[in-house]
Amino acid sequence: MKRKYFLALGVLLLVAVATAYALISAYYEFQNTLQIKGVGVRLWHWISDTEPPTELITSHDWGKLAGGETGYFEYIVLENYGTENITLSFSTDLNSSIGTVKWEIEYFNDGQWHWRDWEQALAEGIFYIPGHAGNPVRPGQMIGMRPENPQDLDVGRIRIALTVASDAPFGSVDPFTITVTGTELAN
């Protein structure tokens, strides 16, 4: 009787340990294709502080992220290669039960770089953040490279933050699209 009791207790303990391990080591596996659409907008991957970007971004593999974890795709440069001033908007078709996507931009203030939610800054019309009607992206302008000698309110790098929902189901995530749209300003 004692033997059956200890055997059952051992099996129960083994199941509990396996379940705990599965929950602790659970993650999402992302493979994402960035779709860039709009008027005169290109995204570049900026690898060197001293040279202009040369690698066009077409996709990014987020790899594995656990629930509640945030992964970043950094060193992005946005270019208006058109002939008109443009405003920007951002979207994604990632299911919100899986996570959220945020575009972030750096700005320089009080001798330090700080990150800011780019979409929120555009919605608020923050004057020093590019991409809204009050501060459009000019033709040929490239945003996302830190200036050599920054002054207060200069903008710097761009990154995309992907935050996984803490209560989402685990497993593989189908490819999803992140889109930045450049819209010409009316004359």
Q: What's the predicted TM-score (pTM) here?
A: 0.81
**What confidence tens digit (pLDDT) does each residue in 7-35 have?**
656 555 654 544 444 444 467 777 666 67
Domain range annotation of the chain: 27-184
pLDDT band at 38 (very low <50, low <70, confident <90, very high): low
Q: What are phi and psi of 48, to 5 degrees?
A: -120, 140
Residue 181: other Cβ atoms inside 10 A:
15
Average pLDDT, the chain: 83
Which is it for the CA torsion 101, 181, 177, 34, positive or negative?
Answer: negative
What is the SS3 assignment for 48?
Answer: coil
What does the pLDDT look like over 47-80, one tens digit per residue? 877 778 888 888 888 888 888 999 999 999 999 9
